Amino acid sequence: MTAKKGSKKSVVLTFDDGPGRVLPSLLDILSKEKVPAAFFWQSRLLFPQRPWKRVLDEGHQIGTHSTKHVNLSKLSFNEQYTDIAGSVEKLENITGKEIAYFRPPFGQYNNDTLAVAESLNLVPVMWRISSMDWELKNNPEQIIDNVIQHLEDGAIILLHELPQTLKALPNLIREIRARGYQFTSL
């Protein structure tokens, strides 16, 4: 899957591994900059008191990133089904919204993973550009460089709900726009 293409070059920002502590601050930046995003959440981290409603109210998308971020390709079909279906059920029960998107943890999947996703009517979403933000705790500027060096129309950008990503996000958005890109949804 790639971003929806229009007359202008576009990219999609996606955030994995939440919902976490920096989510409200990420949402503040996205709101201020009028940038839509997709959030792929581990259902074990979603509690009714997390700001999930704000995510949806502000036009962002929520997808599943499994229950607890295990490498699904090492599990049997039934184990994968139980994990992903349970994750979708919890996300839908809390948010009241149908979950349409799925991103496998670590980007690892096999034919069983794809079969499970299809049986649950989930669209698998990978990425074209990895920010490598999880490795750059002390170097948020490198997050920006990692993305900017690989920009292309329709790219889905992998980010995470991390403090260093939060710090880089305003400049990342500015740099992407400076190169003639707009932001779109999945």
16 assigned to active site: yes
CA distance linking residue 105 with residue 73, whole number of Å = 9
Structural contact between residues 154 and 3, judged by C-beta atoms closer than 8 angstroms: yes
Q: Which amino acid is at 41?
A: W
Residue 55, CB half-sphere, CA atoms under 13 Å: how many? 28
Separation CA 113–CA 128 (nearest Å): 20
Catalytic residue among 16, 17, 83, 133: 16
Four-CA torsion 177, 51, 66, 37, nearest 10 degrees = -10
17, 60, 133, 160: which one is catalytic?
A: 160
Task: Respond yes or no: is residue 160 known to be catalytic.
Answer: yes
Catalytic residue positions, numbered:
16, 160
